[in-house]
Amino acid sequence: MLPKKIFLSIFTLNLLFGLGISAVAQTPAKTPSLEELEKLSMQEWNNQIRREKFDMVLPEAMRRNDVDMWIHVMRLAIPDDFGEEELGSTSGVFVFTDRGGDRIERAILGRRWGETQREWNKNEYGLVETCGAYDIVGEPVFVLEPIASPMIEYDFRFKGLREFVEERDPQRIAVNFKMQLGKWETYTDFGGARDGLSHTDYLLLEKELGEKYAKRLVSSEFVMMDYIINKVPSEIALLKKLREQDVEKVMQKFESIVPGETERREARLTLFRRCSTGVSQRGRSEAFGSSKVERGDIVASPSQGLYAYVLREGEKKPPKEIQKLWEEYLKIDKILAKNIKAGLTPRTIIQNAKKDFDKAGIIVREDQMHMFTPKNNYPLYVKGYDDTKTHLSIDCHGMMKGARERPEENYHGPRISSYGPTWTWDIPLPPNHHFVLEYFFYMPSPAPEGQDQYLFWWDHEQALATENGVEYLSPPQKELILIR
């Protein structure tokens, strides 16, 4: 009689071959040097990130949450940005199994759509087959409408999964639905993963697995969060490369500005301009005025942390109120950079930072003035507060890159902010936490009657949080750029 381990291995191979699945042993991802990475195409670099995430992040994410198997179900009918960009497909049953050792088995099973009879989506399904990240890859399904039959798609959705699960016998199975880590009450969709599989999916999955394993299903929300927020070396290297490219583009835009002619929307820049009460100082009101860059404007690219002042006729340097505004920005940024540290929770970070802001004479507010009702009304916004001090609202939310084409906002993790559900305040920042130094401040500044009595600033610069504080993706700007 065959030993049990050998018998199970033969059984597994027979099962996989019977399902049209190929098994390929993947070697652990080696982190290339920066020189080697820069020779890769963007897709190859993202595949490298995907492999590193599977090797370095996935085992810890599953074990920290006591998960033996993670099943992520994707169908075209349910948009899933996480599945499409991080895992590499818009359809399929992706199964990650902790079988001991230092890595997680990665398998892609049935119902992954391939070529179609009508030749739609040609070659859009092959990434998972070529990225080198998966051990087991099922053949994609050729899409056509068959001759009438009693069988329906539900009969095939999870076919063969029970045997796969039984052979691995996981004690706790995470599936892509959410129960605790939801968004705020009026959330629509700012990107990131949605709520997960459908109720029909869940019922069909329970039926396929049988009562024994259906009882072991739990939400994968904590596994997904840990997978998203933890970074790998090639990912950090790409973030810095992308920042280098973005900074170069912004500097070129600054150099090309012609006051009175350059359209801010065409240049994809933000303008800060003193206005009248009720009008957004960053151009998000219809009454903002000229859409052209004018003298006296601050031209900004907040996502890169780059700012310039457009000198008025006869000016050789910015006026005193603009110099004071710039100094206030540097002060606020320095305090946040000191206090935002990996290992701390957002709740603790805000408490620590408030002490420094109190010493600096800056009032930390929960509400942003453009979220305040009525909007952009400074007299009402500061009513009841000291109107001689700068008012600051912080929203340092997470970002996610992973294997995605570009970094995106991430609200499925820690958020250093007065906004969002409070569970985000108690998630410790992981090492090299990717986030934005986003904040809005309103500095009192006397002006003629009919104009706002404050000046506005907005920063939205991507950065990393380390145990020692903030690490910028590029050297932070120290001097305000002047445009003549």
Q: Are residues 282 and 217 in the same domain?
A: no
- pLDDT tens digits for range 448-458: 998 999 999 99
- Does some domain include residue 325? yes
Write the CA distances from 478 to 246, 303, 308, 315, integer angstroms.
18, 16, 11, 21
- Higher pLDDT residue, 389 or 2? 389
- What pLDDT shows up at residue 338? 98
My answer on whether 465 and 328 are in the same domain is yes
Same-domain check for residues 306 and 406: yes
SS3 401: coil
- Predicted local distance difference test score (pLDDT) of residue 7: 35
Identify which of 196, 197, 244, 190 has the alpha carbon closest to the alpha carbon of residue 400: 190
Q: Which long-range contacts (CB under 8 A, 24 or more apart) does 141-144 make?
A: 141/110, 141/111, 141/112, 141/113, 141/114, 142/114, 142/115, 142/116, 142/117, 143/113, 143/114, 143/115, 143/116, 143/117, 144/116, 144/117
Exposed/middle/buried for residue 205 (C-beta within 10 Å: 0-12, 13-18, 19+) = buried
Contact yes or no for 259/308 (Cβ under 8 A)? no
Q: How far apart, in whole angstroms, are the C-alpha atoms of residue 409 and residue 387?
A: 33
Residue 27: the pLDDT is 65
Q: How confident is the model at residue 430 (pLDDT cuts 50, 70, 90)?
A: very high
Mean pLDDT along residues 292-299: 96
On whether residue 210 sits in a domain, the answer given is yes
Residue 6 has pLDDT above 50, yes or no: no
> Quick one: pLDDT at residue 3?
41
Could you tell me if 221 and 240 lie in one domain? no
Are 337 and 396 spatial neighbours (Cβ–Cβ below 8 Å)? no
Same domain assignment for residues 282 and 377:
yes
Closest C-alpha among 170, 165, 112, 130 to residue 24 = 130
| String of DSSP letters for 324-378 | HHHHHHHHHHHHHHHH--TTS-HHHHHHHHHHHHHHTTEEEESS-GGGSSSTT-H
Q: If we measure between CA atoms, which residue out of 393, 407, 258 comes closest to residue 332?
A: 393
Inside any domain, residue 59: no
pLDDT score of 483 more than 90: yes
Phi, psi of 356 (to 5 degrees): -70, -35
Q: What is the CATH number of the domain that holds 293?
A: 3.90.230.10
On whether both 171 and 288 belong to a single domain, the answer is no
Do 289 and 401 lie in one domain? The reply is yes
State the angle between helix axes of 4-18 and 161-168 in degrees (0 to 180), rounded to the nearest 10.
Answer: 160
| Domain-embedded: residue 42 | no
Calculate what percentage of the chain has a pLDDT beyond 90. Answer: 74
pLDDT, tens only, 203-249:
999 999 999 999 999 999 999 999 999 999 999 999 999 999 999 99
Give the span between the Cα atoms of 466 and 360, in whole angstroms: 24
The mean pLDDT of 7-36, rounded to a whole number, is 60
- pLDDT value of position 148: 93
Tell me the per-residue pLDDT of 339-385, one tens digit each, with 9 for 90 and over.
999 999 999 999 999 999 999 999 999 999 988 778 899 999 999 99
In the chain, % of residues over pLDDT 70? 90
Whether 47 maps to a domain, the answer reads: no
Q: How far is CA 396 from the centre of its chain?
A: 12
- pLDDT exceeds 50 at position 482: yes
| Strand residues in 144-243 grouped as ranges (E) | 173-175, 217-219
Domain boundary among 178, 211, 229: 229
Q: Which of 182, 210, 208 is nearest to 196 (CA)?
A: 182
Q: Which of 194, 229, 264 is the last residue of a domain?
A: 229
For 139, half-sphere exposure in the C-beta direction (CA atoms, 13 angstrom radius) is 9
Q: How confident is the model at residue 125 (pLDDT cuts 50, 70, 90)?
A: low
Q: Specify if 60 maps to a domain.
A: no
* Same-domain status, 253 and 205: no
Which residue, 212, 229, 246, sits at the end of a domain?
A: 229
What per-residue confidence (pLDDT) applies to 11? Answer: 40
Across the range 28-33, mean pLDDT stands at 81
**What is the rounded CA–CA span in Å between residue 346 and residue 414?**
7
- The answer on pLDDT for 16 being more than 80 is no
Nearest residue to 425 (alpha-carbon basis) of 349, 480, 368? 349
Asked whether the beta carbons of 312 and 483 are under 8 A apart, the reply is: no
Provide the residue range defining the domain that includes 93: 4-30+65-229
Regarding whether 120 and 75 lie in a shared domain, the answer is yes
Beta strands at 390-396 and 416-417: parallel, antiparallel or unpaired: antiparallel
Q: What is the pTM of this model?
A: 0.89
Residue 136 contacts residue 130 (beta carbons within 8 Å): no
Flag whether 35 is in a domain. no
Distance CA 134, CA 87 (A): 10
CB contact at 8 A, 417 and 468: no
Mean pLDDT, rounded, of the chain: 90
* Count of structural domains within the chain: 2
* Residue 45 placed within a domain: no
Q: How far is CA 265 from the centre of its chain?
A: 25
Helix (H) or strand (E) holding 439: strand 433-444
pLDDT digits (tens, 9 = 90+) for 380-426: 999 999 999 999 999 999 999 999 999 999 999 999 999 999 999 99
Poorest-pLDDT segment among 46-50, 124-128, 172-176 = 124-128
Indicate if 157 and 301 belong to the same structural domain.
Answer: no
pLDDT grade for 461, boundaries at 50, 70 and 90:
very high
My answer on whether 91 and 218 are in the same domain is: yes
SS3 content of the chain, % helix, strand, coil (to 5): 35, 20, 45
| Confidence label for 479 from pLDDT (cuts 50, 70 and 90) | very high
Do 187 and 245 belong to one domain? no
Cα separation of 210 and 169, whole Å? 12
| CA–CA distance, 463 with 82 (Å, rounded to integer) | 22
